[in-house]
Amino acid sequence: MAAEPPLLEIDNLSVAFHTEAGLRPVLDDVSLAVQPREILGIVGESGSGKSVMALAIMRLLGEQGVVRDGQIRLDERDLLALDAETMRRVRGRKIAMIFQEPMTSLHPLLRISRQIEEAVASPDKRAVGIRLLEDVGIPAAATRYDDYPHRLSGGMRQRVMIAMAMAGHPRLLIADEPTTALDVTIQAQILALMRRLREERGSAIMFITHDMGVIAQMADRVAVMYAGQIVETAATRTLLTRPLHPYTRLLLAAMPTTRHRRATLEVIPGQMPPPGSIASGCRFRTRCPVAISRCAEETPALMTRGDSAVRCWVA
């Protein structure tokens, strides 16, 4: 039986932004795939390019953002070749995104009922909208349904964003730090809801987070980003137990654990290089404890290692 084609394919994607100093590259040679019904975790420090990649997929980079190279295909359809109106119809129905900051993503002058119902296809929009709010854990959902965003807490606004993203039954849901503003009880409820979305509706999920504990619970596979590049991909269990890239190993060493109590957590020395500041060589080399001379001279490609892939000369 032939293997099922990927739902989402990103090939050699490069993105830059116009700045006062000129065009500044942010993503470079990013390639990955999301299979149907797969939950793919995306991890990395702030500034690694996770959210920019998500916005590029949604074609929401704004006037300053430029896709310099590469392809983004959803169901084998090139999203970068679609006109604006066609892409608008794809958003919400085929692909939806839970944005990182709900206060700037919700329209402050529109009731949340109107904003949710824009994505609902059913003729009984109100009933479906209220049920969505109940699904994401909003108490007294029918009463809160006609509130304005400013009347909701940060956690409630985040749950409204999740309800809006789920309203159109998207084939791919991009979740950018979707549980950051939520307490642990609601976080567990939302994670369970997303797993149910995958199981009942067959949706795939791209889950962007800093929380490796959430990745361990949620993801089938993980992609690690650093300075605008994918530096490692692997099945979740493999990545957590046998990481290949020095950056991945350091990220995992910095995680708190209940098994081994430590007075202090490990830290990754130094800082991520600014976008465009490294023209060649490995971008992690200045922070890497095992760097060799080749790391400064040659830029590593993403190389296959069994079922994993790693961008490193010494892995």
Structure token digits, residue 209: 């987070």
Alpha helices in the chain (DSSP H): 50-58, 84-93, 102-105, 112-117, 125-135, 141-144, 154-167, 184-201, 212-218, 236-241, 246-253, 293-297
109-166 per-position pLDDT tens digit:
999 999 999 888 788 999 999 999 998 889 999 999 999 999 998 778 888 988 898 8
pLDDT grade for 281, boundaries at 50, 70 and 90: very high
What the block records as the tokens of 161 is: 């964003």
d(CA 277, CA 280): 9
Q: What is the pLDDT of residue 188?
A: 84
pLDDT, position 174: 95
Q: Domain 8-94+170-244 adopts which CATH fold?
A: Rossmann fold (3.40.50)
Closest CA to 111 of 147, 155, 141, 139: 147
Nearest Cα neighbor of 89 from 101, 99, 103, 74 is 74
266 within 8 A of 253, measured Cβ to Cβ: yes
Instruction: Quote the pLDDT of residue 259.
Output: 63
100 or 148, which is more confident? Answer: 148
Higher pLDDT, 153 or 242: 242
Judge whether residue 249 has pLDDT over 80: yes
Region of poorest pLDDT, from 68-72, 211-215, 227-231, 274-278: 274-278
Mean predicted confidence (pLDDT) in 257-272: 75
> Would you call 234 helix, strand, or coil by DSSP?
strand
The alpha carbon torsion through 143, 149, 152, 153 (nearest 10 deg) reads 160
pLDDT value of residue 130: 96
Measured between its terminal Cα atoms, the distance across the chain in Å is 34
Identify whether the C-beta of residue 226 lies closer than 8 Å to the C-beta of residue 272: yes
User: For residue 206, is pLDDT > 70?
Assistant: yes
> Which has the minimum average pLDDT: 6-20, 28-42, 212-226, 258-272?
258-272
The mean predicted confidence, pLDDT, of the chain is 90
Residue 263: pLDDT band (50, 70, 90) is low
Q: What is the pLDDT of residues 181-195, one digit of tens each?
A: 677 887 888 888 888
Confidence at residue 4, expressed as pLDDT on a 0 to 100 scale? 83
Q: Cβ(224)–Cβ(290) under 8 Å?
A: no
